[in-house]
Amino acid sequence: MILDWQAFTPWQALLGGVLIGLAAAWLALLHGRVAGISGMVSGLLERRTDWRARLAFVLGLMATPGLWLLAVGGLPVSLVEAGGGRLLLAGILVGVGTRLASGCTSGHGVCGLARLSPRSLAATMAFMCAGFVTVAMFRHWGA
């Protein structure tokens, strides 16, 4: 396997992690909410009483690439080596996994682990193991 060292961006990754952590902490401390994207979107679609706050959260997520573009002058390039069928299947499996786990990687992995939730630890371990197996299947075993 050849590594592309130009794609290694530790400072951008660190900045992104800090911003995600600050946003999650802000939401938890000031509003008592978990910054789980699947929960935010589902609550928005169900038009819960706090739909305005959920909409602001989701719009903030959507605006972030534009802010990055203004600040840095370009967006990172992502190369996805999968066809439409695999991407559709992946999206469906992520949705099913999110439903089964009662939350997504951001809710369990960022917020749940920070709260030392055993359920979030189990969910995050399941997410990670599924990712490891998927990469092994498609990259190394030729599935």
Does residue 70 surpass a pLDDT of 70?
yes
pLDDT in tens, 102-135: 888 888 888 888 889 999 999 999 989 988 998 8
- What are the contacts of 38-44 at 24+ separation with CB within 8 A? 38/98, 38/103, 38/104, 38/106, 38/107, 39/103, 39/104, 39/107
For the segment 41-62, what is each residue's pLDDT rounded down to a tens digit? 888 888 888 888 889 888 988 9
Long-range contacts of range 112-119, CB-CB < 8 Å, 24 or more positions apart?
A: 112/34, 114/24
Is 70 exceeded by the pLDDT of residue 9?
A: yes
